[in-house]
Amino acid sequence: MHPPPDRCQYRDKGTVDDLGHPVDLLRPPRRVVSLVPSLTEALAVTVPERLVGATDWCTHPAGLDVARVRGTKNPDRAAVAALAPDLVVANREENRRLDVERLRAAGVPVWVTVIESVDEALTSMRRLFGEVLDVGEPAWLAEAAAAWSQPPPATALRVAVPVWRDPWMVVGPRTFTGDVLARLGLVNVFADAEDRYPKVDLPEIATAGPDVVVLPDEPYPFTADDGPEAFPGTRTALVSGRDLTWYGPSLGPARARLLAATRG
């Protein structure tokens, strides 16, 4: 059982979020709004009694019953404020700086995460749940740390990971997904691109020479009938987009699922 969230010894005046912005809290937050689907799942699994709001894109866990505050890029800030949250959790990549700044200007504390690698995900989640919410390390987080501490397979495979089509976009450098790929012993053929998610012509993907084209079901919903046909002669692997991009409770089992899908 988690300790009461208003213990008198809790004084978190010196805490800063992943961007180094101070977040003044006199007690562990009891009313939390999440603007990030992955963080929503983590909060709903770990401290369900504290989660009071989430975006329309927050689909997990199934049956989540909290107030909805529109999207990650266009949250209804008035609806967020009306929920009287002690804390809003956001992410640098998922959410707009403008929305974070305006929520703060309205007196709403916002904790921004920065996650571009598995290690950053583990560290950031430990800080959020241990330092801010004061509930220690969740079991799912410990399991994820153990799973991703395993060495990658010795045999490397070259992969391309499209995330959109028409226009085609692929995973590039400096991304959480890119780090996941490396930890699976997979070589991203677009790891040296200039942009984090470069736009490419379809022939460029084939020319890059991947052994496997990995097709996630989000953000573009690739399926067996929509995606593989674009890569004749190259093996494709349909995977869960959550396994490639989410850093909540799905992070631990994601490793085994991705290895099975990509290694065939």
Per-residue pLDDT of the chain (264 residues; tens, 9 = 90+): 455 444 444 455 568 999 999 998 989 999 999 999 999 999 999 999 999 999 999 999 999 999 999 999 999 999 999 999 999 999 999 999 999 999 999 999 999 999 999 999 999 999 999 999 999 999 999 999 999 999 998 888 999 999 999 999 999 999 999 999 999 999 999 999 999 999 999 999 999 999 999 999 999 999 999 999 999 999 999 999 999 999 999 999 999 999 999 987
pLDDT at 2: 52
pLDDT at 187: 96
Q: The domain at 157-263 falls in which architecture?
A: 3-Layer(aba) Sandwich (3.40)
pTM over 0.85: yes
Angle separating helix axes 118-126 and 176-183, nearest 10 degrees: 110
pLDDT at 262: 94
pLDDT at 14: 60
Nearest to 18 by CA among 100, 140, 86: 100
User: What is the percent of the chain where pLDDT is above 70?
Assistant: 95
Using DSSP's 3-state secondary structure scheme, residue 70 falls into strand
**Torsion of the alpha carbons at 118, 123, 125 and 127, rounded to the nearest 10:** -170
* Mean per-residue pLDDT over the chain, rounded: 93
Q: Has domain 32-137 been given CATH number 3.40.50.1980? A: yes
Q: 187: number of CA atoms within 13 Å, CB side?
A: 11
Report the alpha-carbon angle 209-213-217, nearest 5. 155
pLDDT at 9: 46
Residues with Cβ < 8 Å from 116, sequence gap 6 or more?
Answer: 93, 174, 175, 176, 179
What residue segments make up the domains of the chain, in order of their start?
32-137, 157-263
Phi, psi of 190 (to 5 degrees): -115, 20
Residue-wise pLDDT for 22-65, tens only, equals 998 989 999 999 999 999 999 999 999 999 999 999 999 999 99
